Amino acid sequence: MSISSLRHVMAVNLAVELYTLLDDRDPPRFANCRLHLPCIVFPVTEVIRRPTEDMQTCFTYQVKADGLHDLTITMKRKLPRPARQSFLLVRPWDRRLLELPDYADDAESVDDFDPLESPGGQGPVDSELSERAMRLIVRLGQPFSAFLLVLRHGKEYKRIASDHNIIAQVKDVHGMINVKTIEIL
């Protein structure tokens, strides 16, 4: 087995692991006046306020987060001091990215299904899952609208509104493994 094929196998295994982790997430829900939001979490490591032309009405921040390219956020409100607060950038989870088949629209019956084995010994389900998982990784690597959250009490977070969409992009695929359900006030 060559190193390149091993790397390919490891990439596929990582993609399938992430796919399975995301597939196991419950859908978003409200309970006890809180939103339980499944998401990919990127802990913020640094927040630096940048001077702007209109320093009285707008605040611009340079933000660094694990697994994301650096980004700039502009808002009308001043952020709480980062030393006293924990911030997260999150990608809310969208199940449509999994490309799950819609069995309600499937006209074939179970009796008509006859899976064929692939030549490598990998079944059609495994092969299809691997392909969907790799496509998921590609889509997750594209820019997305992120939410900025601040830790409030224990494990409860509050969303901080921004005047513009917060567009983030993943720089490291391994950073996408941090999948959680966040409780938002």
Digitized pLDDT (tens) for each residue of the chain, 185 residues in all: 443 444 576 688 888 898 999 999 999 999 989 999 999 999 999 999 888 776 667 888 999 999 999 999 988 888 877 656 799 999 999 888 888 876 655 555 444 444 444 444 444 457 888 888 888 888 888 999 999 999 987 889 999 988 889 999 998 777 678 899 999 98
pLDDT at 79: 83
Q: Give the per-residue pLDDT at 113.
A: 45
Residue 78 DSSP class: P
DSSP E strand stretches across the chain: 29-31, 34-50, 59-65, 71-75, 87-92, 144-153, 156-160, 166-168, 179-184
55: left (phi over 0), alpha (psi -120 to 50) or beta: alpha
* Domain edges within the chain: 3-98+122-184
Return the amino acid letter for 46.
Answer: E
So what's the pLDDT on residue 90? Answer: 96
The whole-number pLDDT of residue 116 equals: 40
Residue 80 pLDDT: 76
CA dist 124 and 127 (Å) reads 5
pLDDT at 5: 47
User: Which pLDDT does position 105 carry in this prediction?
Assistant: 52
